[in-house]
Structure 1
């Protein structure tokens, strides 16, 4: 039963992944508050993964997890390069990013 529980990393990125799922559906977009959150996580994660020493101020835990994933998961960095904020993420790109993130938790 415990093996079926989602990993902590999955829960940390749950809202980020929700935004990606909404984008993937392509039916009305992401609510403004969720879009701001998504954009903050994405910007912080990109900055952190590019140069951890250059980051200043408070980081969202989700950004730290995403930065680790960008460094560790094959192909995720390339997919993230095409995403500058929620408005630049196509449904196809959202699907590819989700697939990369979901590989992390696959057995």
Structure 2
């Protein structure tokens, strides 16, 4: 019997990086924050470096102190968007990084 929540089991059972990327893009941000340690462990075990970079960018954006306009600093927002674009390419089956290497 597993102790993972069903949504986290979906990530654990993902057969390739494209599936992991789609999971990262669809997962509620509350789940990403709450289960970031488990998610990081699963992405690391799968050697999904782009996924780890995306996770770190999301965590940084969600944890950043916001400016007076309510937004995170531009460096945080830019990093998050670049990471998101990379994950979107992988989710569509693109060849960014090791995105097409099944595990």
Flag the structure with higher helix content: 1
Length-normalised TM-score, structure 1: 0.34
TM value normalised by structure 2 = 0.34
Bigger RCO (CA 8 Å, 6+ sep):
2
